[in-house]
Structures are given as structure tokens and as C-alpha cells.
Amino acid sequence: MDPSDNNPSSHQSLPYITSNNPLQFTIHLPNSTPNFTSIPNSNPSHDPNPNPNPHSDSISDQLLSLSIPTKRRRGRPRSTTTSSLDQFSKTLVENSNLVRNLTARKNTASFDASDEIIVINKEATTEALIALTAGFPADSLTDEEIEAEVVSVVGGIEQVNYILIRNHILMKWRVNVSTWITKEMFFDVIPKHCNALLDSAHNYLVSRGYINFGVVPAIKDRIPAEPSKPSVIIIGAGLAGLAAARQLMLFGFKVTVLEGRKRAGGRVYSKKMEGGNKVAAADLGGSVLTGTLGNPLGILARQLSCTLHKVRDKCPLYRVDGKPVDQDLDHKVETAYNLLLEKASKLRQLMGEVSQDVSLGAALETFRQDYEDAVNEEEMSLFNWHLANLEYANAGLISKLSLAFWDQDDPFDMGGDHCFLPGGNGKLVHALTENVPILYEKIVHTIRYGTDGVQVGAGAQVFEGDMVLCTVPLGVLKGGSIKFMPELPQRKLDGIKRLGFGLLNKG
Ligand SMILES: Cc1cc2nc3c(=O)[nH]c(=O)nc-3n(C[C@H](O)[C@H](O)[C@H](O)COP(=O)(O)OP(=O)(O)OC[C@H]3O[C@@H](n4cnc5c(N)ncnc54)[C@H](O)[C@@H]3O)c2cc1C
């Protein structure tokens, strides 16, 4: 099997986009006929260059990369995000009818502009797709947005307008992530009566770090020289701690990072190797940017003008004797494997809540028995490779994976190519640490917290602050080497206990 083929059937439920002309492309949704939605670009001179790879220079190039099948990496049938996009397209069609009706009413005395669904440009579906990759549902608000009360009434026209504006702002920043996006930049395209929604969407996106973040001068120059907000002690200088530190500094907080080791980066560490006049780097920890579209690391790489190296789509398999597996056989077994996953998925739907008590392994085993007698040893061994790959991708035995929830993180997958950063991810760590006050070799053992602030103990030292942000790995929390005083709330303790993780090491 060659996963790089462009056969829609091999893409399962990922949306994919085809194009002959980079300025005109078509989104094909799974389970829909091709040419579902055609999105002609309204502005042919527009060259947004939002791609993390500077050599790939159009938005459609970037969206095209959604077509890469991920079966070899994670064999999963998926549906959530696409049905959301499907719904959004429907909403847009309904909206355009609504707009027509409202336009007819414009001259009547009862016309109220706030009843109208705005038209920002003709790229609403493209912008929805970008929003989707950034983690927003295409046609609705996130729970976080609802909680932040971004609109006065959930549902209805105000919400549709908010989503259109939010998606447009996201798109505008992703076109050029080296800039600082202000509200004023949208005054010419967003109707005046929607100023409050523009405020709301812009504030939400900036305050939650969806736009205007990173390591370029336009952004880091805005870090106030004198912090005006309370002090935050951040524990851990991994990517989570560093990203939080930069963002809090940008918002004006006084930040101190306490890191247990002698270096920053945590589970990301690029080892430099030199010899014979050659220099190379190997990532001993996190290496692949698993989808560059919604991935903040993809944005950092673009800001640093790093040319990303796409992970090859081809993943040829080899037999134990070192010879490549016959392609037809490979294809046949992979098809059977995908079919099994689909059957398991259907079974889950049929079982409803009962599926929570069944493991994915048990479900697959039931179906596998149907095949067992019909296959030879090589086919079985290939099939087992797929199961092993599934276990690797999920960091757990399939017998321990829940049939109901094993793929619950799929909606959060970041679209786009899987890439390496030549020279190693240490470049990202290096950029993130710039001007961040980090104290190394401070292994935290105690966190006292209360209404009058926090005290963080590391060795014989005690650091005082207004707040503490703890970014240590789950394993450290499970191990209990940090004492929280008072003890963490029960729901957090339960979460720490219940959550598991697998082991991934690189020799
Ligand atoms: C081998 C390997 C390969 C991986 N490959 C990929 C990949 O290809 N793609 C991908 O996206 N992800 C990959 N990951 C996962 C990714 O590296 C992590 O998800 C990510 O780096 C976690 O960042 P973090 O900041 O949350 O935690 P960490 O990086 O673990 O940072 C936590 C920091 O806290 C510090 N700390 C811990 N305890 C204390 C204490 N008591 N006091 C003070 N400091 C403390 C640690 O030293 C560390 O610096 C891989 C991970 C590993 C191990």
C-alpha cells in the first residue's frame, strides 16, 4: 500500500481538498460526492503565505496537505470535525438565503441591521476550515467561548456573525503570523453595527493566545519592560511552561520559572553531534510536529523562517528477511485492517453506552477471528503490524483501550503535514527561552497556596509569588514528589490517579 495515493477511499473521513489551480480548490467531504463545495478565491492577487514551510506559498497548498492519509500513523476512522464543517456549509447556505430575505427588508421601517448575517468576504468556508484546524468548531461556539460570554445570546444570528468575525480574524493572523493584529485592521470589512462582536472576538482570541503570540519582534517587543500585574511562579521549563511564561509576560505579569534540570525544553531535547567536519542534531525527545496547521509550534517555526521537512507519506514495510513486502499484499491487508476498525466503530454505535465496558482489543479480536482461517502467515504478520502500530499510536495495549473512547482525541488533531524541524526542536526551545527569567536546578518539593499568595519550596529556598502554575509531567504528580499544601482538590487528585500514559523512549 502506498499511503500517498490520492484515492478518496483511503482517506476515510478526513476532509481533503483538490486543486489544479492553487487559487481555486474544492473540499471533498467523506461520505459526500466529490465537488461538494467549490470555493473560488475572490481575490486572485491575494497570496497569503500561511504555510509553515516558506517554500510552500499558498493557503490552498496548506489546506491541500490535509489530504495526507494518517492511517499508517494512527489507524482511525474519524467523523467529528467533518460533520461540523458539513453543518457549517449548510448554515452558510441557509444564511445566504436569510441575507437575501433581509436585504429585501432593508428599505422597510422595521429593518434592524443586527438581524442581518454579515458577509465579510466569499471565503467563509475556507476561514471556517482554518478555524477548525485551530481547534474551533466550524459552526458553533466552544464551551470556553460560551463561558467567556462572547455573545449575549447563544444561538441565533449574533452567534453566526461572531463566528464569521472570529474565523476571519484567525485567518488574517495566520496569513501573516509575524504581525500584531489590531481591531482597527478590521474596521473596513466588519460593518459598524458589529463593532461589539469584533471587540468580543478579538479580545477572546488575544486573551486566550490564539493570535498575536510567538517570538517575532512585532510580538516580543510588546512585552512590557516593567510588569504591572501580579507575580506568577511557573514550575517547569518544558514547552508548556515556556509558552505560558511568554504569554503571561506579554500580558504584563511578573514571571519566574523554576526548572529542576540544568536546561530548558523538558521532554524536547536536541542532541548536537559533531565529527569528521560534520555537524548534525538528533531529537532525543519530541521530534515530529504532528500537523502544522493548528499547531502553535508550526506557527513558531514559521515565525523563525524555518524550512520544515515533511515526514514522508510513504511507509514501506519490510519482511523479516529484509525484503520489501509485496505492495498488493500490503494493500490487501491494510484494507482488511481498516475494515475491521470501521466494523468496530459501527459496533460501538450499536452498543451505545455498553461499549464503555468493552475494550477495542476485544472488539477487534471478535472480527479478526472471521479472517484468521482465510489468511496465510505473512498476511497475519502484516495484520499484527497494524495492531502494533495502533498500540504505539495510543501508547497502550489494545486490550486496555476503551472501545467507546479510544479515539476521543481525534477532534483535536491538528491538520496539515507532519514535519521535522531540521536542526532539531531545540531551535524552538531556544527561541522560547529568550528573555524569560528561568532559575535552573530548582527541584520543587512543596507548593503552599492560599488567598494571600503562594510559597514554592525548592531545596532550602522558598520562592514567593501571587500565583503558581505547575507544568510538571503527570508522572511527577502521580509520584507525589511535590507536596501541595493544602492538598489538591479531590477532583484533581482523582484525575491524576485515573489518567495514564505510555512509555516512549529513544535509544
Ligand atoms: C521520546 C519522546 C518522543 C516524543 N515525540 C514526540 C513527537 O514526535 N511529537 C510530539 O508532538 N510530541 C512528542 N513527544 C511528547 C512531547 O515531547 C511532550 O508532550 C512535551 O514536550 C511535553 O511538554 P511539557 O512542557 O508539558 O512537559 P515537559 O517537557 O516534561 O516539561 C516539564 C518540565 O518540568 C520539569 N520538572 C519536573 N519536575 C520538576 C520539579 N519537581 N521541579 C522543577 N521542575 C520540574 C522537567 O525537568 C521539565 O523540564 C515525545 C516525548 C518523548 C519522551
For the chain, the structural domain boundaries read 8-207, 223-299+418-498, 327-406
- What's the length of the chain? 507
Name the residue at shortest CA distance from atom 33 of ligand 1.
Answer: 236
Mean pLDDT per segment of 10 residues, for the chain of length 507 residues? 34 31 29 28 32 39 33 37 50 48 44 71 85 83 95 91 95 95 96 95 96 96 95 98 98 98 97 91 93 89 94 87 94 89 86 84 79 79 89 87 86 83 96 98 98 97 98 97 98 95 77
Q: Distance from the CA of 379 to the center of ligand 1, in angstroms?
A: 37
pTM assigned to the model: 0.79
Ligand 1 atom nearest 237 alpha carbon: 49
Give the Å distance between the CA of 268 and the centre of ligand 1.
Answer: 6
Strand 309-310 with 289-290, pairing: unpaired
488 closest CA partner among 449, 435, 432, 439: 449
| Burial (CB count <10 Å: 0-12, 13-18, 19+), residue 490 | exposed
SS3 at position 48 = coil
Angle of helix 157-175 versus helix 80-105 axis, rounded to 10: 120
Query: CB of 364 within 8 A of CB of 388?
Result: no
Q: What angle do the packed helices 80-105 and 124-133 form, to 10 degrees? A: 150
Report d(CA 117, CA 476) in Å as an integer: 50
In 246-281, which positions are buried (b, 16+ CB within 10 angstroms) versus exposed (e)?
bbbbbbebbbbbbbbeeebbbebbbeeeeeeeeeeb
Closest residue by Cα to atom 41, ligand 1, is 444
The DSSP 8-state label assigned to residue 451 in this structure reads T
- Alpha carbon of 136 to ligand 1 centroid (Å): 25
Ligand 1 surroundings by CB, under 6 angstroms: 235-241, 258-261, 266-268, 285-288, 290, 442-444, 471-473, 476, 482, 504-506
The residue whose CA has the least distance to atom 48 of ligand 1 is 266
Domain 223-299+418-498 = CATH 3.30.160.100: no
Atom from ligand 1 closest to the CA of residue 263: 49
Ligand 1 centroid distance, CA of 267 (Å): 3
What dihedral angle (degrees, nearest 10) is formed by the CA atoms of 55, 59, 65, 67? -150
What are the phi and psi torsion angles at 457 (to 5°)? -95, 130
Specify the pLDDT at position 472: 98
Segment 259-283, tens digit of pLDDT: 999 999 999 999 999 998 999 999 9
Strand partners, 439: 258
- CA of 414 from ligand 1 middle (Å) equals 19
